[in-house]
Structure 1
């Protein structure tokens, strides 16, 4: 039986935009500073989690090194244009437009810093479809998916419940939704795969963005 979802929560990287080039270039730039060389393909698995978790894997638990790596990452991401080495997935805008036409609320819940989320959606002229754009803080707080979903829902005056649907491409999106008792959609065109999304317990799995219109 089809549920009447009133609020649709979207992830950003791997769900709204294909952002791997800018993110992996930024990680490479930071790792090069530490004398570490990695190829873009091997770094794609880091799209989704917080940067601190990514760099801890390479530089260890030294917080000063982790923060320096994040600083170098943002030198490329912000100052050298990595943020906009990015493109919107096919069907995204028409899907967002139709969801709004159906009278539903759309919010963003990303582990990316909120200021960057806003700039990316503004750049692609998608911000007009969102009732709230939520992300982490620049200091890497509020970066867990469950935290940012909660934050975004609170900012539109809603509490998690059966009328909320989370859409994302990685297990973090699915598990964060599950922790809040929210149904979820796993998308196969992002950076996770079917096995990851199924193991995480996605309520639905879709192959293209417009498929979500059959659910909401």
Structure 2
């Protein structure tokens, strides 16, 4: 076995931070001001994670001609009160600090606009723990030099780690709570570890192809540390275990938190 230090790229909402109240209140405020109906809790939860413009149109049914106003009203409400309503999930601060102390490279890749993502992380005092924080453009539209879509955002975070910081990202892993996190990781050749405390619907992470699903920060810590042990390719060239299913989902359940 070869010892390495696996870099970790984290999603933000639903993975590091519980943003539900702030996001839901902001969406409700926007829809109310525009005279539109407010979805129930299940549909509101489904709006956390995907690109906001897609959620507003596809789930909340905001007409195209009102979309810009809905985003503007939401952003103003979220900046004013929503960020302060967010909470770090149990054990996350300690998990990140333990990784930094051990020299593990960390990054964030989120579909939330990059400036807002940094503000959220700074509010919780953890922005300094990451080598890079990557998100979408301020208006969520494609712009020069700004990634668009989860796959591109993950790619930008990887490039920052490997090129900007000279780190080995060969064995990097993504951690997220929704199917788009798994898809964004896969598009960049990465495995994705799913977290069970976020906003995925039942079976969503399994169907998307998350390599493991964990249910506590302790389990996440242990799962990532295990990935530091890389099989020695020189000792087992082209070895394939016929009994190993690389697409299997392993559920890890523990009660403690790091």
TM-score > 0.5, shorter chain as reference: yes
Structure 1 position 32, deviation (Å): 1.0
Aligned partners of 1:120 and 1:91: how far apart in 2? 17
Map of 1:22 onto structure 2: 22
Answering whether residue 150 of structure 2 is matched by residue 145 of structure 1, we say yes
Aligned partners of 1:51 and 1:98: how far apart in 2? 32
- Equivalent position SS for 1:43: helix
Q: Deviations over 1:52-92 (max 9, x none)?
A: 101223123x2x421111111112111x3112210000010
| Aligned 8 A contact 1:165 1:182 in 2 | yes
Runs of 4+ in 1 over 6 A off after TM superposition: none
More helix by share: 1
Structure 1 position 193, deviation (Å): 4.1
Map of 2:183 onto structure 1: 175
Map of 2:159 onto structure 1: 154
Aligned partners of 1:100 and 1:83: how far apart in 2? 24
| Aligned 8 A contact 2:6 2:169 in 1 | no
Aligned partners of 1:204 and 1:52: how far apart in 2? 29
Matches within 5 A, 1:53-202: 53-57=54-58, 58-60=61-63, 62=64, 64-78=65-79, 80-141=80-141, 142-158=147-163, 162-193=170-201, 195-202=203-210
Map of 2:9 onto structure 1: 9
Give the gaps of 5 or more residues in structure 1. none
Aligned partners of 1:109 and 1:128: how far apart in 2? 15
Larger radius of gyration: 2
Structure 1 position 102, deviation (Å): 2.3
TM-score when normalising by structure 2: 0.77
Aligned partners of 2:201 and 2:2: how far apart in 1? 25
Give the gaps of 5 or more residues in structure 2. 142-146, 225-258
TM-score when normalising by structure 1: 0.91
Aligned partners of 1:160 and 1:180: how far apart in 2? 15
Structure 1 position 38, deviation (Å): 1.7
Map of 1:49 onto structure 2: 50
Aligned length: 213
